Amino acid sequence: MVSMKSVFYGLLVAFGLLAPYVSVASEVDNDQNQMDQESFMEGEIRELPLIAPDAFLEQRTGDVQIFGPTDSIENTEDNINIEIDYQRARIDEVDTQKTEVLGQEVISQTITVTILSGPRQGEKVMINTGGGVNQNQGQIYAKGDVVVVAENTFDNNGELYIHDVYRLPGIGWMAGIFLIMTIIFARWQGLGGLMGLMLSIGILFWYVIPQLVAGQNPTLITLTGTMMIVSVTLFVSHGFRFRTLIALVSTLVTLVLAYGLSIFFVEITNMFGSGSEEVFYLQFAVQSASEVNLDIRGLLLGGILIGMLGVLDDVTVGQSAAMDEIHQANPQMGFKRLYRSGMSVGRDHIASMVNSLALAYVGASLPLFLLLYVNALGTPLWVTINSEFISQEIVRTVAGSSAILLAVPITSVFAAYWYSRRSFESDRDSTKTLRKRTGNRS
């Protein structure tokens, strides 16, 4: 029987050999994808307004360039230099003014801050936040708050404004509490899960995202990336065990089938990946920075694929572990009995996971759902459901749920076959050993 480590290393080699061909195939597939995308844009979108933060855009004759927060923007025609420098600052004094304009309360604040980082560390600066109506709690500052201030340089004249609240300490405490809880309740296996999470993030940020920004085919890149993630992180998180190998094979098979099913769903629903305005801003920014046209329909498929991976991990590992325990409780069970017992557990898993997946998608987009509901009070229900935003979330949910439906029987078949096979080989070895002992005695 082939060992788990041999299969694992074989998969890694296979993915290593596959990567160059993915890049070549991506260039070929992107031609057709771009033609479809351009025809859609010409037929459906006539004009797209752009709203971008200050100091991120430079308007030239026939040219728009996008720059990051730390980049320098130079306009040679007007001799304008703009730089943005971000620093931490502590609020020492707050003067809040409230006025009434047209029956609405307008709140403005004059704030004195002490710079905590950067070349102006220790300097006290006064900042006027301007005025606004219906401001939320995050837009009203208090003494002692730590904020992020941005310094605009325009013709060598610096101007400070509050960019955001400084949240990194809270994020650090939150991550620390989560880490401690994981180690306490899951012990070393929980630590392995955290290492697997870090590896997943690493593959996404050092392979998947750079390839997507470079204009490679999103579906092929995300399919390869998800296979790399699951091939490495499953063993890091759950150890080199036979049940983990079964979960890996089941996940890979399910990913390929679910990927094909997702393509079918996207095609029959005429999805173009334009359900949110962020996609158009992303497409504009990437095209301006690197002259690369993104395949937004491919990005939709890639997002569906990455989203379903976390669900498949849970389903295949849990199903494989459950069938391993059933096998250990009764090693004499054959393929049919093992499969039936596994599916009995798997049906409950399907029911709970499908509901969890739908709620996760709704929860992630809840504000947009509320906005759509408010704006669609006078719109027929079928028109609302027909909108690409709602249809896109339905496709995500159905594709992910279909992956769960496929994963449970696929994992059950593989687990029932291999566990019953091991039982058969174990019984055969025991019979041979008994015969040898009986022959020696005679």
The conformational region for residue 103 under phi > 0 = left, psi -120 to 50 = alpha, else beta, is left
Average pLDDT for residues 354-377, to the nearest whole number? 76
**Looking at residue 153, what is its pLDDT?**
66
158 with 302, same domain?
no
Cα(367)–Cα(8) distance, integer angstroms: 43
Look at 27-31, 129-133, 186-190, 282-286 and tell me which has the smallest mean pLDDT.
Answer: 27-31
Tokens 């600066």 belong to 125
pLDDT of amino acid 252:
93
Q: Do 217 and 309 lie in a common domain?
A: yes
CA distances from 222 to 62, 76, 110, 245, 306 (A): 34, 41, 48, 22, 7
**Are 29 and 138 part of one and the same domain?**
no
Q: What is the reported pLDDT for 439?
A: 55
**pLDDT at site 82:** 57
**Within this chain, do residues 211 and 79 fall inside the same structural domain, yes or no?**
no
Name the token pair of 268: 């029959």
Residue 67 has pLDDT above 60, yes or no: no
Phi-psi region of 96 (alpha: psi -120 to 50; beta: other; left: phi over 0): beta
Please check whether residue 179 lies inside any domain of the structure. Answer: no
In which domain, by residue range, is 92 found?
65-166
pTM for the whole thing? 0.67
Domains of the chain: total: 2
Based on the domain organization, do 18 and 92 belong to the same domain? Answer: no
Mark whether 293 and 162 lie in a shared domain: no
Rounded to whole angstroms, how far apart are CA atoms 226 and 306? 6
What is the structure's pLDDT at 21?
Answer: 40
Number of H helices, E strands in the chain: 11, 8
pLDDT of amino acid 119: 85
CA angle 214, 215, 219 (to 5 degrees): 120
Distance CA 235, CA 296 (A): 33
- pLDDT per position as a tens digit, 300-356: 888 888 888 878 888 899 999 999 999 888 888 889 999 999 999 888 888 888 787
With respect to residue 230, please indicate whether it lies within any of the assigned structural domains.
yes
- Considering the domain boundaries, does residue 77 fall inside one? yes
**14 pLDDT band (50/70/90 cuts)?**
very low
415 and 295 together in one domain: yes
105: left (phi over 0), alpha (psi -120 to 50) or beta: beta
- CATH number for the domain spanning 115: value is 2.40.50
